[in-house]
Chains A and B, each alone.
Chain A
Amino acid sequence: MVDISKGLSVKNNNKLDYYYFMQLIRRFEEKAGQMYGMGLIGGFCHLYIGQEAVVVGAQSAISQDDAVITLYRDHGHMLVAGVHPKYVMAELAGKASGCSKGKGGSMHMFAKDKNFYGGHGIVGASTTLGTGIAFANKYLSNDQVTLAYFGDGSANQGQVHESYNMAALWSLPVIYIIENNQYAMGTSVSRSTKQKQLFKRGEAFGIPGSKVDGMSVLDVKKAIQKAVKHVKSGKGPYIIEAMTYRYRGHSMSDPAKYRSREEVKKIRSDSDPIQSFSDYLIDNKLTSEGELKDIDKEIKKIIADAALFAEESSEPESEELYKDILIEV
């Protein structure tokens, strides 16, 4: 029913598609967590569970020509861009069949053919790099918008403010999306800054912004659509602060001492983005429980196959060590 190789875009009008991709991300991440526990995935692995509505809502507000860039919590962004889960999972497993040939790993994934520019490991880097992509789009006069995602942790980096300044100065077509999951690793927003309304920092640079419920896929979509309209009219950048929550630790090696189990439990039960959206779909008779179950079944199989693909793929050849360092001239 959904062609996952096409990913999401503003063309996806069927609300079931949002459910589909949110569920795809969640099942993917759950499997990744499981594989990490089995030692099949190494290093840092930052799961997106709980935040699915942000990337699904935002991606369904832009066209396929528009560019996206984010930091290291990037698996979901790859999936909605239309990269098949098996290539993402194979990358996590460090296999030659992975989207970066096994040389990037969880934090460094790219799909340039789908206008996804990574996947960056340095906190804050996506804002400057995303502003640069927007600069190029304006230079090329092509009407494309760039979504530059970052978190509440990045928001305090100097380069974010440097980006704001130049993006506003040059009226660049960029939307900054702050995925405020409330914890920068183990430090809560209130322990990092006095101005907790992160989107308001744009005001100092002349950039408008707004806050949105990042647990509501439809609200996110609406907010991004509004921002896209602003940006496309030539008015320069826009900031969206999506209030969200990650259920899992910052990375797989997070002891999570900085918040209580009850806090996580409460958000899971009260405002889970997938549960609340499936309730909405059913309440509004847009689908049936049976139909959702069929989707879940299909996704379960896709993810199982992806895990198998990753596990069975071979590691990169030794020669790969010295490849892709420089382009041969």
Chain B
Amino acid sequence: MPALSPTMEEGTLSKWLVSEGDNIKAGDIIAEIETDKATMEIEAVDEGILSKILVPGGSQNVSVNSVIAHLTNNIEDSNNQTQEKKNNISPEDNNVTYKPSQNENDFANYSEPQKTENFISVREALRDAIAEEMRKDDRVFLMGEEVAEYQGAYKVSQGLLDEFGSKRVIDTPITEHGFAGIGVGAAFRGLKPIVEFMTFNFAMQAIDHIVNSAAKTLYMSGGSVSVPIVFRGPNGAASRVAAQHSQNYASWYSQIPGLKVVAPYSASDAKGLLKSSILDPNPIVFLENELLYGEKFSIQEDKETYIPIGKAKKIVEGNDVTIIAYSISVKFAIEAADYLLQNHGVNCEVIDLRTLSPLDEETVLDSLKKTNRVVVVEEGWSICGIASEISALIMERGFDDLDAPVIRVTGKNVPMPYAANLEKLALPCVDEIVKAVKAVSYI
């Protein structure tokens, strides 16, 4: 099973396009594989005879690197010594190449995601939020690179073109500064744009319109021109995409008066907060996380919930230490809290900020009053970060409640390295949170 995207761990072998015994030539399309991002056709580079299919078509959750078939060089070989087809195929390998499917019908059979046991992925939650708000208000439209015909670079907008048509689900050229500005102009005129950045790394090209045109116009116009717009997309580190594609922009946008900044962790928060963001009359920067797209969370079905912007959420109740986090860092905070309870009897309270601007200062300070110890976790850099802001807030408004200095567990202040071991070192991890909690607890 080839790895076909940086974040793919398993995939669905949708169907074989060849049968056992077929003579395969280099370039033949042999199978269709559905990854976490798209459905792709796999081409053979080696030639030979497909002697045995080990993983039948329709198999789900096939792990990357597992053997899916045997390919032999000639008929004589096929009976005795079989040459195992190389399986750890990546796009760079010469053995098998891949290409995104050009077939428009790939998604024709798309149906509502299976919500077994009321579990839903963050990706589906975001899509559902957009679809629900688009059904309610004709002024809402989605614009960005590959949002329509490609069904979303990360599949978030899957199925939306079919339902809403090309007038409201709009593919743009690769022109971030341009389409961000067009989105803001459309919002001036009364539409409610959702502008998707393939990732927020590319929004740096557009940041002038986010900051100067979207955030400041209400103020500069004395309240007469509002900008109801959502800028959304994945933010922060993905996996092995190195420095230019792995930056957390949370503190950049949170510094701007006139912007609201949302960064959810769970699927239900992603959905409820995106719905609120689309409804909100202000410009919103909605920071998603690529690694969370595929994570499933329980969600209350058939219930439309608007989660208020500006409210943090207590994920784990505890009395000893408060761990504050947002986005993917919440996951590590929960794991650390669990470990500390099991192994050290330390009862941590985990707070998911959910919104970074405006910050829910009261929830932070209330928890501090109870625990008197705080660790802040942030995937982004420590310098001038959200964790730094929380630390300053606590010093200014909660100094008397502190029994230990606040500790920040953050991304290291380096450009994101490519090498797997270095990337791991650059990011905050559970172990570092555990150590920080122990330090503020003096254990």
Interface residue ranges, A against B (CB under 8 Å): 67, 69, 98-104, 108-113, 117-122, 125, 127-137, 139-140, 158-159, 162-163, 165-166, 169, 323-327, 329
Contacts and interface: CB of A to CB of B under 8 A. Distances in A.
Given A136-B190, A169-B173, A128 B226 contact: no
A150 B43 CA distance: 51
Contacts of B152: none
B213 interface: yes
B282 interface: yes
Contacts of B190: 136, 140
Contacts of A329: 280-282, 309
A123 to B, nearest CB: 10
Contacts of B173: 165-166, 169
Given A104-B222, A117-B185, A327-B226, 19 more contacts: A69-B185, A103-B220, A110-B221, A112-B221, A113-B224, A118-B221, A125-B208, A125-B209, A128-B178, A128-B184, A130-B185, A131-B185, A158-B177, A162-B177, A163-B178, A166-B172, A166-B175, A324-B221, A326-B258
Q: Quick one: which of A69, A129, A130, A166 has the most chain B CB within 10 A?
A: A129
B185 A325 contact: no
A120 B213 contact: yes
B260 interface: yes
Interface string B178-190: 1111111111111
A323 B209 contact: no
Nearest to B179: A166
Q: Which 6 A-B pairs have the closest CB atoms?
A: A132-B185, A128-B181, A162-B178, A136-B189, A101-B222, A108-B220
A324 B181 contact: no
B186 A165 contact: no
Contact of A324 (B167, B180, B219): B219
Nearest to A323: B223
Interface string B185-210: 11111110000000000000000110
A163 B186 CA distance: 13
Interface of B: 141, 167, 172-173, 175, 177-191, 208-209, 212-213, 217-226, 257-258, 260, 280-282, 309
Contacts of A323: 223
17 contacts: A69-B185, A103-B220, A103-B222, A110-B217, A110-B222, A119-B220, A125-B208, A125-B213, A128-B209, A132-B186, A132-B189, A140-B189, A159-B181, A162-B175, A162-B177, A326-B218, A326-B260
Contacts of A325: 218-219, 257-258
A142 to B, nearest CB: 10
A39 to B, nearest CB: 23
B177 A136 contact: no
B222 A163 contact: no
B141 A139 contact: yes
A109 B224 CA distance: 10
Given A136-B185, A162-B175, A165-B178, A104 B226 contact: no
